[in-house]
A and B are shown apart, each in its own frame.
Chain A
Amino acid sequence: SQTIHQWPATLVQPVGSPLSLECTVEGTSNPNLYWYRQAAGRGLQLLFYSVGIGQISSEVPQNLSASRPQDRQFILSSKKLLLSDSGFYLCAGERNTEAFFGQGTRLTVV
Chain B
Amino acid sequence: GDSVTQMEGPVTLSEEAFLTINCTYTATGYPSLFWYVQYPGEGLQLLLKATKADDKGSNKGFEATYRKETTSFHLEKGSVQVSDSAVYFCALRRGFGNEKLTFGTGTRLTIIP
Interface size on B, residues (CB 8 A): 23
By beta carbon, the residue of chain A nearest B102 is A46
Alpha-carbon distance between A98 and B34 when the two chains are bound, in angstroms: 9
The B30-63 residues at the A interface (CB cut-off 8 A) are 32, 34, 36, 42-46, 49, 51
Docked-complex contact A44 and B89, CB < 8 angstroms: yes
Alpha-carbon distance between A36 and B106 when the two chains are bound, in angstroms: 13
**From B6, B46, B99, contact of A98 by CB (8 A):** B46
Alpha-carbon distance between A57 and B89 when the two chains are bound, in angstroms: 22
CB < 8 Å A-B pair total: 57
Docked-complex contact B32 and A97, CB < 8 angstroms: yes
Contact of A61 with B by CB under 8 A: no
Residues of B within 8 A of A27 (CB): none
B residues whose Cβ falls under 8 Å from a Cβ of A:
6, 32, 34, 36, 42-46, 49, 51, 89, 91, 93, 95, 99-106
